[in-house]
Chains A and B, each alone.
Chain A
Amino acid sequence: MTSTQAATADPTTVALDRARALARAIGESAPFRAFEAAQEALEADADLGARLQAFQVREQELRLSRSWGGADPEEVRAMEREWEELAKHPVLAAQVAARTELLGLLREVAGAIGEGVGLDYGAACAPAGGCC
């Protein structure tokens, strides 16, 4: 869209066009590309994937036990130790670092939009909550 077209277009349409342009820029940014590469490497490692999946299943079970008040503290500590071991794997460590970096960029983007319009972007996009 040219600037002349943008000036005459419906402001809401312009905003949606610019949101798409922003998404393309994020997609080309270093943090996003690094995350994609790290995620691909993670998905390509079948052994690590199986260990991660098994860990996540047990973690989910533990979370359920916790919500019923029946989690064994020793089991919780064992899971934490296991995650520490798992996270030492270079492929997983790289994926976690890349995800953290990308989340940092997304938080900055959401924060800047929210500040600009006077609304919390994350809260606006999350499921509705209550009010007075």
Chain B
Amino acid sequence: MAEEPENGHGVVTERVRALVEALRAAPAIEQFRAAEERFRADTELGRMQAGLRWSHERLQRAQQEKRHDPRLFQEVRDAQARLQRHPLVIDFVTTRQAAQDLLRETNQEMAAILGVDIGGSVGRAGGCC
């Protein structure tokens, strides 16, 4: 963020830094970052994700060509189910949820003071691993 202390921007920047530092030390964020690192580093998981993307692309192509192939559909569902059962994915999703809950809590605390929902003002629904 740009430093513009004359209009209060510098104070805001400093307090954002302080908040980020505190958040990074909070267990919910620490656990999420560690889980994310394990998730990204796991080569088997990488292969499983690539396999799902490949199956998904084939399914989309078949649908575009108006070919109905129940085996392809089942292949995608199986690949998704295998990923969802993987312990690293479960850990990643669970810890991410806890980290997001903490961020939502900070947003609620700020909204109570400002009367403005910061996350809601800039946010969008969705997101995926």
Contacts and interface: CB of A to CB of B under 8 A. Distances in A.
Given A22-B15, A119-B96, A129-B128, A11 B22 contact: yes
Nearest 4 Cβ contacts at the A-B interface: A125-B119, A122-B123, A116-B20, A30-B7
B75 interface: no
Contacts of B83: 132
Interface centre among A25, A30, A125 (most CB of B within 10 A): A125
13 contacts: A14-B26, A15-B102, A15-B106, A103-B121, A106-B118, A110-B122, A116-B24, A123-B123, A125-B103, A125-B119, A126-B124, A131-B127, A132-B128
Given A106-B116, A113-B103, A129-B128, A118 B36 contact: yes
Given A109-B12, A122-B124, A132 B52 contact: yes
A127 interface: yes
B46 interface: no
Contact of B114 (A11, A27, A121): A27
A125 B107 contact: yes
B8 A23 contact: no
A22 B13 CA distance: 9
Contacts of B20: 112-113, 116-117
Interface of A: 11-12, 14-32, 102-103, 105-113, 116-132
Given A25-B8, A116-B20, A125 B28 contact: no
Nearest to B19: A18
B59 to A, nearest CB: 14
Contacts of B7: 29-31
B41 interface: no
Contacts of A27: 113-114
Given A112-B1, A117-B24, 16 more contacts: A12-B102, A19-B107, A22-B16, A23-B109, A23-B110, A29-B12, A103-B121, A116-B24, A117-B33, A117-B103, A118-B33, A125-B118, A125-B119, A131-B128, A132-B52, A132-B128
